[in-house]
Each structure stands twice: as C-alpha cells, then as structure tokens.
A = this chain, B = another copy of it.
Amino acid sequence: MKITILILIMMMFLPVLQAENGHNLWLGGVCTGPITIECSKSSTTIDLAKHELHKYWQGKENATISLQIKADLLIKGDGYKLTADGIQANTDLGILYGVYSLLRRQQTEENIKEEIVNPSYELRILDHWDNLNGSVERGYAGRSIFWHGGKDSLNISEQDKKLWQEYARADASIGINGTVLNNVNTSPLILTPNYLKKVEVIAKVLRPYGVKIYLSVNFASPSLIGGLKTADPLNPEVKKWWQDKAREIYHLIPDFGGFLVKANSEGQPGPQNFGRTHADGANMMADALKPYGGIVMWRAFVYNPSDEDRAKQAYSEFMPLDGQFRDNVIIQVKNGPIDFQPREPFSPLFGAMKKTSVMPELQVTQEYLGQSVHLVFLASMWEEFLKSDTYQAGHMSTVARCTDGSIYPQAHTAIAGVANTGRDTNWCGHPFAQANWYAFGRLAWNNRLTSAQIADEWLKLTFKPTISGDSTKQQKNQTEWDVKFLEPVKQMMLESREAAVNYMMPLGLHHIFSANDHYGPGPWWAPKGIRKDWTPPYYHQADTAGIGFDRTQTGSNAIKQYHEPLCSLFSNVKTCPEIYLLWFHHLPWDYKMKSGHNLWEEMCYHYEEGLQQVRKFQETWDRVKPYVDQEQFIIVQSKLRQQCLNAQVWKDACLLYFQQYSRMPIPYDIERPVHNLKDMIAKDMKSQHR
C-alpha cells in the first residue's frame, strides 16, 4: 500500500512531453481518446499498465481493452499474448510488457494481430559501471543516476526517485528486467549497511516496473569491510560472512537478484589470490545466495600479463572448470575474446561450455566506438554476433535459449549490456545513443530481431511527428516523412557501425587506440614499462614484413579454440573472412586481396571509405533538418562534424603510421592525409598528462 502511494506521488512528477531535449527517450505519443479497461486484478504493476494505456493510447477512440492474468503453457515467463481485445499473461509484469508492446505497435503503425510473445532470455540485465563516488567508468553521459559521491553520497532526493522511476519505465518498456547498480571494479562499501539502505530505496522505486536489483561485489569484501583476515572462499568464516551478508540483503530486498563479480581480472581480487579456482569462488557465493533464489554472474573477462595470447586466456582458464559451477552461477562472457572492439569474432567460450550457464555481455556504452560523439548504431554489431554459428549448439542466438534446452540444458538464460546512461538530460549523451539502449533491450527480449527492424521502430517512436487534420493530408505527410526522413536516416544508422570499423580498424585490426581512453588512434602507443598487452603494437604486430596477429598454428594457435569447421575456416587465409583477416593472420603488405588490391591498398581504401561514409552521414542529416526538432538537429549535426574530424584523424594516423612499414604510397585516388604523424604522436603523448 505504501508503494502504491509512492507511485501515485511519483506519477505527479511524470514529465510533460519534452521531445525537444531528448529526455523522453522513445516514450512519447499523444493519447487519441478515452478507452475502457477491463481488468479484475489490481497491483502496482497492473495499475501502471492501466495508467500507460490511458495516457498513451493511440488506437480507436472509446475502445475496450481487457487485461487478463490467466495461465497459458505457451506463454513463457513474463511473456504475453496479444489478442484482438487486449492482453493476456501469466504475470502482472507480463501484462505491463504487453501494454508497452501494444502502445509501441500503435505508434509505429505495426499490424496488431493475435500473437504470443515470449522473451529470448530469462534475465535481461543492464550493468551500470557506476562508481559510488558518482563517476561512471566508460560513461559519457554525465554522472551516475544512482550515486552522487561526496557528502551527498547516501542522500536520496525526490529528484533522484523521479529519475529512477523514469529509468525503470524506460527499461520496462523494452523488456529489461534487471540492473546492476554499481561498477564491476567495485568499492567494497556497497555491501555496508548504509549503502544497502539506499539500495533498498532504489529497489522499491524499480520494483513496480519489474526491474530487479543486482550488485557488483568485491571478492575481498570479507577482509576489506568484514574484519576477517582472509577472503579465501573455502574458509568457513568467509563463507559465513557471505551467508550473513546475503541474509541481510534479502531482509531489505526480498527479490534481490544476486551478485556480479569481476575477480582476478585487471587487478581485482579473486579466489586465485588464495590458491582457489574461479569455481571455488563463484560457488561459495552461489551457496550463500541459493536459499533466496539469487544468482552469481561471474565474469570470464580475465587475462594475465603473460606471453599467452590475450584472446586465448578466458577460454584457457574457464573451459577446464566446465561442470564445476553451481546451477545458480552464470559465466558472463564478453561477445568477443578481447574487449568490446569495433569488430571481433565471437568468443570461443560460447557454445563450448556445455555444462555451465553462459551469458553474453554486450557493451551499450560506446567505450571503443566513439563514445558519446560518434553516431554508431550497435544493433548491427550485436546482430552479427547473435547470428554467428558456434557449430556446437546451433546459432549463437539459440545457445542461450530455453527453447533449445534439449541439447545443452542451461539452468539460466541471460544477457547483459553495459549501460550508457548518465545524468545528461538526454540520458545517453548522443541522441542516437538512445537507440543502443533501446536496441539492447529489444534484442534481449527477442534476439532474432534485425537491426533494420529495431532502427525502424526506434526512429518512428523517437522522431515521428504526431499528425492531425484530414486523412488525405495525413497520408501524404506520412509518405513524405517515410521517404525523406525515415529511409535515409535508417540507412545511416545501419551503415554506421561498418563506417566506424572502416575508419578505426578494418580487416580485423583491433585495439589500436591511443592510451587508456580508447577514443582516438594510437597504433604507435607503447609507453615504457607498460604491460605490452595494453599496447597497440601487441595487437597489430606491424613490421616491414607485414601486419596482423598470427593466431593460427604457426602463431598463438588461438584458432584451435573454435569448433570445426570454424577452426579450419579461420586458419586458412584463403577462407578466412576478410573482416577477420588480421585478427587471425600476419600477412605481407603485398598480400593479394579478393578485390585485386594488395593488403596495404585495401587498408587504405577502407580508411578512406570510412571517412567518406561519415561525410555522407553529414549530408543525410543536413537534408532531414525540416523533420527534426531544431535543438536535437543541431546537437546531432555538431557531433557528426566532430565524428568527421575524428574519422580524418583515424585515417591519417593509421595510414601514416602503417605506411612506415608498408613503404608503399597511399593510392592516389584517395584523399591525402591532412595531419602529420609526428604531430599526432606528440599530441597523444601530451594527452597522457591531462
């Protein structure tokens, strides 16, 4: 009852339509008339569903809608059935999801027919890399929406609650049902009583929207904040500490989701510090959470400064443990074997771990893809990943599906995305970055959606003008909008990720960023004393003989981690897809490509193509000026200009740097570089001292 009142109070703060500043995300729309809702049940979630229907209905006037909770074996989890009359679901949350689905179809003018809609993954989670001091690791949209830091650390204002509620509504509208509130590089303080009290309040605000709370935990918490001398997972006191902590958390948050753990990775403590395995560590925590239904998401993002190819290490370390994990442990694996690069082949752990639940970790925030400056629609990248065939458990998109449980049963199916949200008015920094949040949610719900479908939906929800007046005129305006705005902008979105690959690191190049900010080019970057697997030359391996990382039998043999026929396909330079060429092979500069160009020329043409693509995006955007709110138009126009400047820097830096080794001219039919290599290197070294 307390919650209901809270929600009702919060409703009063729901923002008026503010399309112009981007705060409303894809959640606009103007109600077209009164409707009648038939529903025998009441709950905060059902009430929300009704509220949304009344407020944003865009169907026939005076319609009657039925919302029905009724068991149906074909409806899975929080899935729902759309019918001519309304929505049927097994759960309250299913009803809410159904309502958002109905409203979306109305706004996008999708045909509404009877249909059962079930989620691809049971757990659809956003990981926030938000630090308790209020900063966001790899965040480019302002400070944390959850944490303030400083003396306001534990304060909670009405403003905060309003923001959390808006956040939860946005999540629910696309099917996200979990959120990790803090960074994987985490302070142990998150588990102290004061912070847990704040987490309890956040949980209350998010609960009606079906968004469960998870926390990143520091493996050394028992010693760091618990007063113990060790955090050894086999130590009874340590076990007890975690059991007590679990009880404490569930007392405050009965539906708490569980822990996310980054252990023995990039300096974070973990079970290996005590001579134990990842399984020992994960299981100990899983046991503590088990009584309450909690899970442990244990990250496989591990690599040591050893001589072993970084791309191999997660597989090497985790495969031997397959079968040793509790059933409430999920191994969280980044989509690629290195780290959220503009393009990677999928991680070989997918499909390989057959006795363990494995969840993909995608990155919604554009750490390596132009941050909040570049327009890069990531759905294309995720679609490419989800469509990969592991040749072990069907396509990637079915690996983690309940429906495929007959082959490799997984106790849990899940997917995570590293969030791109912050306190910026428009949540994500770049107006088009909202599309990546949207796309992650949509793919987490339905991993068979195409990026084209998602872009289409998002553009209609975000930019489509409300049309009134006579229907002939409506029809005409509608067609004009489709032709002049929707199609070109969709095309731009769909091309944007390939453009970024082209101007940043085409042909399988990876991790050639400058320094640790992962924004600009730095193929030369290798300060003295730094781990060599943190430097670009480790990844591109360029010399006068050629370029690329040899991961075949003659090199690191990482290729062996892929199941046949992929292993052979990638190994053979003739069959290896050219998009992965330098990921798997070190090749001479004059290697003949399928186009007829040699490798050096091909590389030049890719960089040039990337730059020209961005120029084209600029033109596309300038042309749609009449169809966009002017504030949003200018923000995007300005960012595209910066992106174009950056694409030029990327092209110039990489071509001039690699030309030192290729010793061949840049083909004369492409634009000449306009920056000098030495200036770019000097600027780079200076930026280290920022």
Q: Are B625 and A668 in touch, CB under 8 angstroms?
A: no
Q: Which of A112-120, A431-439, A475-483, A671-679 contacts B (4 or more CB under 8 A)?
A: A671-679
Q: With A and B bound together, what is the CA distance between A645 and B680 in angstroms?
A: 14
Indicate if A644 sits at the interface (CB-CB under 8 A): yes
Choose among B619, B625, B638, B668 the residue that contacts A622 (Cβ–Cβ < 8 A). Answer: B668
In A326-341, which residues have CB < 8 Å from any B CB?
Answer: none
In A208-259, which residues have CB < 8 Å from any B CB?
Answer: none
Q: With A and B bound together, what is the CA distance between A642 and B652 in angstroms?
A: 13
Set of chain B residues within 8 Å of A673, measured between Cβ atoms: 641
Indicate if A527 sits at the interface (CB-CB under 8 A): no
Proximity bits, A615-648, B CB within 8 Å = 1, else 0: 1001100110100000000000010111011001
Q: Are B622 and A672 in touch, CB under 8 angstroms?
A: yes
Q: Known: A622-B665, A622-B666, A665-B625. Is A641-B675 also a contact (CB below 8 A)?
A: yes
In A646-681, which residues have CB < 8 Å from any B CB?
Answer: 648, 665-666, 668, 671-676
Choose among B618, B640, B641, B674 the residue that contacts A641 (Cβ–Cβ < 8 A). Answer: B674
Q: With A and B bound together, what is the CA distance between A46 and B44 in angstroms?
A: 108
Q: Are B625 and A672 in touch, CB under 8 angstroms?
A: no
Q: With A and B bound together, what is the CA distance between A279 and B249 in angstroms?
A: 97
Q: With A and B bound together, what is the CA distance between A676 and B636 in angstroms?
A: 12
Set of chain B residues within 8 Å of A619, measured between Cβ atoms: 668, 672
Q: Are B623 and A668 in touch, CB under 8 angstroms?
A: yes
Q: Are B676 and A638 in touch, CB under 8 angstroms?
A: yes
Q: With A and B bound together, what is the CA distance between A641 and B673 in angstroms?
A: 7
Q: With A and B bound together, what is the CA distance between A624 and B642 in angstroms?
A: 32
Q: Known: A619-B668, A668-B619. Is A675-B625 also a contact (CB below 8 A)?
A: no
Q: Are B668 and A615 in touch, CB under 8 angstroms?
A: no
Set of chain B residues within 8 Å of A644, measured between Cβ atoms: 672, 674
A491 to chain B, nearest CB (A): 16
A124 to chain B, nearest CB (A): 38
Q: With A and B bound together, what is the CA distance between A30 and B642 in angstroms?
A: 52
In A508-561, which residues have CB < 8 Å from any B CB?
Answer: none
Q: Are B675 and A645 in touch, CB under 8 angstroms?
A: yes
Q: Are B671 and A615 in touch, CB under 8 angstroms?
A: yes
A617 to chain B, nearest CB (A): 9
Choose among B615, B666, B672 the residue that contacts A672 (Cβ–Cβ < 8 A). Answer: B615
In A157-185, which residues have CB < 8 Å from any B CB?
Answer: none
Set of chain B residues within 8 Å of A615, measured between Cβ atoms: 671-672
Set of chain B residues within 8 Å of A622, measured between Cβ atoms: 665-666, 668, 672
Q: With A and B bound together, what is the CA distance between A618 and B623 in angstroms?
A: 30
Set of chain B residues within 8 Å of A674, measured between Cβ atoms: 618, 641-642, 644-645, 648
Set of chain B residues within 8 Å of A666, measured between Cβ atoms: 622
A656 (CB) vs chain B CBs: closest residue: B641
A647 (CB) vs chain B CBs: closest residue: B674
Set of chain B residues within 8 Å of A641, measured between Cβ atoms: 672-676
Set of chain B residues within 8 Å of A648, measured between Cβ atoms: 674
A631 to chain B, nearest CB (A): 14
Q: With A and B bound together, what is the CA distance between A615 and B623 in angstroms?
A: 25
A644 (CB) vs chain B CBs: closest residue: B674
Most buried by B among A642, A665, A666, A674: A674
Set of chain B residues within 8 Å of A623, measured between Cβ atoms: 668
A628 to chain B, nearest CB (A): 14
A615 (CB) vs chain B CBs: closest residue: B671
Q: With A and B bound together, what is the CA distance between A675 and B641 in angstroms?
A: 6
Set of chain B residues within 8 Å of A640, measured between Cβ atoms: 672
Q: With A and B bound together, what is the CA distance between A618 and B652 in angstroms?
A: 14
Q: With A and B bound together, what is the CA distance between A615 and B672 in angstroms?
A: 7
Set of chain B residues within 8 Å of A675, measured between Cβ atoms: 641, 645
A677 (CB) vs chain B CBs: closest residue: B638
A640 (CB) vs chain B CBs: closest residue: B672
Set of chain B residues within 8 Å of A671, measured between Cβ atoms: 615, 618
Q: With A and B bound together, what is the CA distance between A156 and B676 in angstroms?
A: 39
Q: With A and B bound together, what is the CA distance between A201 and B126 in angstroms?
A: 81
Proximity bits, A589-623, B CB within 8 Å = 1, else 0: 00000000000000000000000000100110011
A678 (CB) vs chain B CBs: closest residue: B638
A676 (CB) vs chain B CBs: closest residue: B638
Q: With A and B bound together, what is the CA distance between A671 and B615 in angstroms?
A: 7
Q: With A and B bound together, what is the CA distance between A480 and B623 in angstroms?
A: 47
Q: With A and B bound together, what is the CA distance between A665 and B648 in angstroms?
A: 24
A618 to chain B, nearest CB (A): 4
Proximity bits, A392-428, B CB within 8 Å = 1, else 0: 0000000000000000000000000000000000000
Q: With A and B bound together, what is the CA distance between A22 and B89 in angstroms?
A: 83
Q: With A and B bound together, what is the CA distance between A665 and B637 in angstroms?
A: 13
A626 (CB) vs chain B CBs: closest residue: B665
Q: With A and B bound together, what is the CA distance between A645 and B645 in angstroms?
A: 10
Q: With A and B bound together, what is the CA distance between A554 and B12 in angstroms?
A: 63
Q: Are A672 and B638 in touch, CB under 8 angstroms?
A: no
Q: With A and B bound together, what is the CA distance between A673 and B637 in angstroms?
A: 10
Q: With A and B bound together, what is the CA distance between A623 and B668 in angstroms?
A: 8
Q: With A and B bound together, what is the CA distance between A594 and B673 in angstroms?
A: 35
Q: With A and B bound together, what is the CA distance between A666 and B642 in angstroms?
A: 18
A430 to chain B, nearest CB (A): 15
Set of chain B residues within 8 Å of A642, measured between Cβ atoms: 674, 676
A662 to chain B, nearest CB (A): 15
A675 to chain B, nearest CB (A): 6
Q: With A and B bound together, what is the CA distance between A666 and B625 in angstroms?
A: 12
Set of chain B residues within 8 Å of A668, measured between Cβ atoms: 619, 622-623
Q: With A and B bound together, what is the CA distance between A666 and B615 in angstroms?
A: 14
A588 to chain B, nearest CB (A): 23
A612 (CB) vs chain B CBs: closest residue: B671
Q: With A and B bound together, what is the CA distance between A638 and B652 in angstroms?
A: 12
Q: Are A618 and B672 in touch, CB under 8 angstroms?
A: yes
A604 to chain B, nearest CB (A): 12
A-B contact list, 9 entries, CB within 8 Å: A618-B674, A622-B665, A622-B666, A625-B665, A638-B676, A641-B675, A644-B672, A644-B674, A648-B674
**A-B complex: 3 closest residue pairs judged by Cβ atoms:** A618-B672, A644-B674, A641-B674
Other than A618-B672, A644-B672, give 19 A-B pairs with Cβ distance below 8 A. A615-B671, A615-B672, A618-B671, A618-B674, A619-B668, A622-B666, A622-B668, A622-B672, A623-B668, A625-B665, A640-B672, A641-B672, A641-B673, A641-B674, A641-B676, A642-B674, A642-B676, A645-B674, A645-B675
